């Protein structure tokens, strides 16, 4: 079973610590992209968390379900108005089953990397494919591994340095595993949050998709459908299940 790191105070503080991800300039294009891709069908979020994306999708009249390993994150979601129309279950999105099939399964905000082995990530693709209608689509938002900025011998790479948040990535090239270390600073009070991950290239995801009988349809640099290039820091990838 994968680790559940979004518990207790980390779940309580998740929305406060993610304000940049709630910025309408970040969130609205994501919600619009996912709503367009669902095309009126039901959707399933793997790693639904506190409902950052699920709630605005549901407010657009879309039937939204979600799986999350953290009951504390789901408690935060179900305290919010409008959450009563969202069906959730506690479970591992590599293996858990939500009743029904969906026009769209999606994992945003790098959630697939929370699975720290290749076997679990492959299982996640297969589990997503099992939940798709014929012709249904899987969307993943994930960063591109930052290895060009990680020279040999460097113990950790800073990814954010601000008065309220310091973040450093450790990466092990042999295993593709790492840990994001976050230090949130509030006056004299420092809160630490460590998030283990497995980094994965777009091409490796495409192979996982093929193992799950999914085909790559689109790859963009961001939700605004800007072109994905060798300079892109993240990608939005869309795979589909065949119609038959």
Residues that bind ligand SAM (CB under 6 A): 2, 6, 47-49, 52-53, 67-70, 73, 92-94, 108-109, 111, 114-115
Q: Is the dihedral of CA 28, 34, 35, 36 positive or negative?
A: positive
Smaller CB distance to ligand SAM: residue 30 or 103?
Answer: 30
Q: DSSP strand E in the chain: where?
A: 43-46, 64-68, 87-90, 102-107, 132-143, 157-162, 165-172, 177-186, 189-198, 214-220, 234-241
Q: How far is the CB of 161 from ligand SAM (least distance, A)?
A: 20
CB 42 within 8 A of CB 63: yes
Q: How far is the CB of 6 from ligand SAM (least distance, A)?
A: 4
Q: How far is the CB of 112 from ligand SAM (least distance, A)?
A: 9
Smaller CB distance to ligand SAM: residue 93 or 102?
Answer: 93
Smaller CB distance to ligand SAM: residue 70 or 176?
Answer: 70
Smaller CB distance to ligand SAM: residue 8 or 187?
Answer: 8
CB 160 within 8 A of CB 166: yes
Q: How far is the CB of 92 from ligand SAM (least distance, A)?
A: 4
- Cα–Cα dist 62/58, whole Å: 5
Smaller CB distance to ligand SAM: residue 73 or 142?
Answer: 73
Q: How far is the CB of 110 from ligand SAM (least distance, A)?
A: 6
Q: Nearest-CA neighbor of 6 among 59, 52, 65, 50? A: 50
Q: 74 exposed, middle or buried (CB, 10 Å; 0-12, 13-18, 19+)?
A: buried
Which residue is associated with the tokens 């591109």? 144
Q: How far is the CB of 97 from ligand SAM (least distance, A)?
A: 12
- Cα–Cα dist 122/127, whole Å: 9
- Cα–Cα dist 211/190, whole Å: 43
Smaller CB distance to ligand SAM: residue 231 or 235?
Answer: 235
Which residue is associated with the tokens 């589990």? 127
């Amino acid at each position: 079973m994968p680790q559940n790191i979004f518990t207790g105070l980390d779940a309580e503080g998740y929305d406060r610590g993610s304000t940049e991800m709630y910025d309408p300039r970040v969130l609205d294009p994501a919600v619009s992209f996912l709503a367009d891709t669902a095309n009126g069908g039901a959707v399933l979020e793997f790693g639904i968390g506190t409902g950052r994306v699920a709630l605005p999708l549901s407010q657009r009249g879309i039937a939204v379900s979600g799986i999350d390993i953290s009951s504390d994150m789901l408690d935060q979601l179900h305290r919010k108005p409008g959450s009563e129309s969202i069906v959730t279950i506690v479970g591992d999105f590599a293996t858990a089953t939500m009743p029904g099939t969906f026009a769209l399964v999606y994992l945003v905000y790098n959630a697939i990397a929370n699975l720290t082995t290749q076997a679990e990530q492959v299982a996640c693709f297969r589990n997503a494919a099992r939940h798709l209608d014929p012709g249904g689509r899987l969307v993943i938002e994930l960063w591109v591994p930052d290895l060009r900025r990680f020279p040999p011998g460097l113990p950790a790479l800073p990814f954010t340095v601000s008065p309220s948040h310091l973040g450093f990535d450790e990466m092990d090239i042999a295993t593709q595993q790492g840990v994001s270390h976050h230090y949130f600073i509030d006056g004299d009070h420092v809160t630490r949050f460590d998030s283990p991950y497995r980094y994965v290239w777009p091409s490796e995801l495409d192979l996982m998709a093929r193992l799950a009988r999914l085909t790559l349809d689109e790859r963009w640099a961001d939700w605004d459908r800007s072109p994905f290039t060798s300079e892109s820091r993240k990608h939005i990838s869309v795979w589909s299940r065949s119609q038959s």
